[in-house]
Amino acid sequence: MNILCLGAAGFIGSHLTGRLLSEGHNVVAVDYYDDKIKEWIGHKQLTVIKQDIREETWGLSELVQESDLIIDLIAYANPGLYVKIPLEVFRLNFTENLKIAQICQKFNKRLIQFSTCEVYGKTPTSILNGHILDPDNPSYAKFGEDTTNFILGPVNKHRWIYACAKQLLERVLHAYGIEHEFNYTIIRPFNFIGPRIDYLLNETDGVPRVFSFFMDALLNGTQMKLVGGGHHRRCYTYIDDAIEAIYRIVMNPNGVCDREIFNVGSPENEISIRDLANTMRDIYSQEFRQDGIPLPEIVDVSPEEFYGKGYEDSDRRIPDITKAQTLLGWEPKWDTVNTVKTTMSYYVHEYRDLYEDQLWKHDIFQKALTSE
């Protein structure tokens, strides 16, 4: 197939680009940066276009017409930005993505649209203030694509503008499907992690996602900060599992993905953010830490202190993956510990210079103490 992949050089996009090329597809990869796909630049079946899609005219219509499938991964997917620049988050995640969908509909091209598990919002347990019997029952937090009601926070918690933008985009695609028989598939990722998930803290203007923030703290010896005590729970999905599911959606056997929404996640991998911090620190100590280097402190911080005003979070989210299992024959294979350990290994090796610098600074500090 000739595939146009928008946002191809992001975390998910870079892994997907590699898989598409390995399967023999022709890929036009559009992104603002290209460093995460540098290993494939020069591949005879890859065309890279460095482009900000927010520009008025840059040839999107022509690229869509020449493609068999369009995959749209373009998004701001960083909670720090939802609070800091909510209007721009809305513009990119809804307005700009809607333009892409409209062009796909105009030329009758299939679109795979990436959404987010954040559209589900919060669980009933979080808003009923202890009035639910057995509040820890996972059934309250298991989200189904076609049955679960969305529960979002109030307007002054503008962190939800990201979830609202993605939800509205989903609803418009659904409407296009009803009125114009537009063929789309929506993917709701549940906390994918793996190599290239984020730049670390010293390389980004925003606050990286939880895993990357903790990894940066481990490499630099800074604090591992738990927002709101780290009691929120997530189901982490290794990127290889995710890409396998996504590729099956790309291939769309017998049209089973037409106008469908798919959760892609690992329901067995649920862990609290506090437990994730402890797990990462334990793995780091056992697998990667040099003797004598202290482990970072784990501390609690308020949401406002960490993100600023307007932040709120979902308490728990477990994907119901019955649809992916039934229609695609897909099952996630990676457990939590191997998912975390493998991802950590990538960062330890990728940021070896940073790591070596940490060791050097610690050695100088120890020598200074000894000389006193």
Instruction: Find residue 143's DSSP bridge partners.
Output: 319
Our CA angle for 350, 264, 214, nearest 5°, is 35
Structure token pair of residue 333: 């294979």
Nearest-Å Rg of the Cα atoms of the chain is: 21
Side-chain half-sphere exposure of 7, counting CA atoms within 13 A: 21
Helix (H, G, I), strand (E, B) or coil at 268: helix
Contact (CB, 8 A) for 4 and 63: yes
Nearest Cα neighbor of 113 from 171, 28, 180, 199 is 171
Encoded tokens for 185: 């598939």
Q: Which residues are catalytic?
A: 162
3-class SS at 216? helix
- Three-state SS at 132: coil
Give the three-state DSSP class for 301: strand
> Is residue 348 helix, strand or coil?
helix
The 8-class DSSP code of residue 104 comes to H
Specify burial of residue 324 (Cβ count, 10 A radius: 0-12, 13-18, 19+). Answer: buried
User: How remote is the C-alpha of 40 from its chain's centroid?
Assistant: 22
User: What are residue 143's phi and psi, to 5 degrees?
Assistant: -105, 125
C-alpha separations of 81 from 77, 93, 106, 159, 324 in Å: 8, 12, 32, 8, 31
DSSP state of 181: -
Tokens of 336: 């939590």
State how far the Cα of 204 lies from the Cα of 77, in Å rounded to an integer: 13
